């Protein structure tokens, strides 16, 4: 029997490497999370300030600001150059040389005084001022403002077309899905983290009694509140999940093209024929079929109620004792008379069975290798050699 002893100075020299092998995907708290700019068709000039594609309020805000800047640029391009000013006639010698009559008139300012014009007697400024008032520079400035304003307005129009005309936006669907996944993952994370009794205290809303922090209902409520608080922060509301990486523009065009092709396929009526061939019968979703299904469900419930009422005593087993898990009761409005009066969306959001199932379910997956890697074989060989060396040493006799 051999004993393997590691070299001096470290009891486990390969411990960091082994730990890295066992958990290569362990997140590093000190690592910086890379931020990816949010995609857009007409708001690329804003760079990293572009909001998430599902933040419609933020997109419309930037579109409005960009449109205002574009209109100001166009207005500036028209006002550059000759401007109309109001002057007193007595200050223009060519018009009022010998008269003292008071009056005013509107004249235009020119860069260079022409012979016989009203600016013939104007004082010539410095060379810098003359260059700024030159015709070529004014034309260049007008062109730049005109091109800039046109570019801003065209980009705003392109983004408006994306938001209003497109019925399906892949970037919007991807951002909305990423936001929902982050919200659900935060609930799971906070639920399994538990509740710190030094930071949280939960009371019953009806009587004000302090509730135990280890109950599943309290842990779920606190996890939901923390996830909601993080989702409602200004940064997450504007940009969405921080680590979310949007799809490229090429993939965006591919998905959009596929959606348009499927829309044409459905519009042409070929989908109904294909589905009828697969199901073996034509598809029908009429009002008569819906009424028939509702009536059939009512009859089934009535039969079940009659059977339950006519059953002999003690024929149906009754579960005795306290149940392990507490059930959530659904509180309905006292004015509710029939099932059609219940708001299904609101009831489902308040009592979500899938969320309860996810919080109560915990999976642990481990991958067991079936072959030995090179490092493992080297380690085994070294252990074997050391065992052989030690086995050849003479053993003392007792």
Residue 379, pLDDT above cutoff 70: no
Band of residue 316 on the pLDDT scale cut at 50, 70, 90: low
* Residue 203 pLDDT > 70: yes
When mean pLDDT is compared over 10-14, 17-21, 112-116, the highest value belongs to 10-14
Number of other CB atoms surrounding residue 104 within 10 Å: 11
Phi and psi at 225, nearest 5°, equal -65, -40
Are 118 and 94 in contact by the 8 Å Cβ rule? The answer is: yes
Instruction: State yes or no: pLDDT of 385 exceeds 70.
Output: no
By mean pLDDT, which of 19-23, 137-141, 231-235, 334-338 is the weakest?
19-23
Please tell me the predicted confidence (pLDDT) of residue 136.
79
What's the confidence (pLDDT) of residue 216? 78
Identify which of 226, 174, 162, 175 has the alpha carbon closest to the alpha carbon of residue 200: 226
Domain boundaries, the chain: 44-164, 169-247, 248-282
Residue 109: what are its φ and ψ, rounded to 5°? Answer: -90, 130
pLDDT at 192 over 60: yes
Q: Number of C-alpha atoms within 13 angstroms, CB side, residue 341?
A: 7
pLDDT at 359 over 80: no
End-to-end CA distance of the chain: 18
Give the Cα separation of 395 and 372 in Å (integer).
Answer: 34
Quote the pLDDT of residue 284.
59
Structure tokens at 129: 């001022």
Evaluate if residue 277 carries a pLDDT over 50. Answer: yes
d(CA 162, CA 100): 65
**E strands, the chain, where?**
84-88, 104-108
Highest mean pLDDT among 24-28, 85-89, 298-302, 372-376: 298-302
CA dihedral 247, 252, 258, 259 (to 10 degrees): 100
**pTM listed for this prediction:** 0.55
pLDDT at 361: 72
State what percent of residues in the chain have pLDDT above 70: 60
Asked if 372 and 380 count as a contact pair (C-beta separation under 8 A), the reply is: yes
């Amino acid at each position: 029997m051999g004993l393997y002893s590691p070299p001096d100075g470290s009891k486990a020299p390969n411990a960091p490497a082994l730990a890295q092998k066992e958990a290569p995907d362990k997140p590093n708290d000190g690592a910086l999370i890379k931020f990816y700019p949010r995609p857009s068709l007409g708001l690329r000039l804003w760079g990293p300030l572009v909001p998430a594609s599902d933040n419609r309020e933020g997109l419309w805000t930037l579109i409005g600001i960009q449109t205002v800047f574009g209109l100001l640029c166009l207005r500036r391009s028209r006002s550059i150059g000759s401007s109309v000013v109001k002057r007193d006639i007595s200050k223009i010698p060519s018009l009022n040389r010998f008269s003292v009559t008071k009056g005013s008139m509107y004249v235009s300012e020119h860069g260079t005084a022409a012979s016989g014009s009203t600016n013939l007697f104007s004082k010539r400024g410095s060379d810098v001022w003359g260059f700024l008032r030159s015709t070529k520079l004014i034309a260049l400035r007008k062109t730049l403002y005109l091109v800039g304003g046109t570019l801003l307005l065209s980009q705003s129009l392109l983004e408006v077309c994306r938001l209003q005309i497109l019925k399906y936006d892949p970037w919007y669907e991807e951002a909305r899905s990423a936001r929902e996944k982050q919200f659900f993952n935060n609930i799971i994370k906070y639920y399994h983290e538990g509740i710190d009794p030094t930071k949280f205290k939960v009371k019953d809303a009806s009587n004000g009694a302090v509730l135990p922090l280890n109950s599943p209902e309290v842990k779920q409520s606190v996890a939901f509140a923390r996830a909601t608080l993080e989702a409602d922060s200004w940064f997450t509301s504007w940009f969405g999940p921080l680590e979310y990486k949007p799809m490229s523009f090429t993939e965006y065009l591919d998905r959009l093209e596929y959606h348009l092709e499927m829309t044409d396929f459905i519009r042409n009526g070929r989908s109904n024929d294909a589905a009828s061939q697969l199901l073996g019968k034509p598809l029908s979703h009429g009002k008569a079929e819906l009424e028939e299904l509702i009536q059939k469900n009512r009859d089934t419930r009535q039969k079940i109620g009659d059977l339950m009422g006519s059953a002999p005593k003690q024929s149906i087993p009754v579960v005795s004792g306290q149940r392990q898990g507490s059930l959530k009761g659904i509180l309905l409005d006292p004015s509710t008379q029939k099932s059609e009066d219940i708001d299904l969306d609101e009831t489902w959001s308040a009592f979500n069975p899938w969320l309860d199932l996810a919080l109560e379910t915990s999976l642990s997956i481990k991958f067991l290798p079936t072959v030995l890697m090179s490092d493992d074989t080297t380690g085994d060989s070294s252990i074997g050699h050391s065992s052989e060396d030690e086995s050849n040493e003479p053993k003392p006799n007792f």
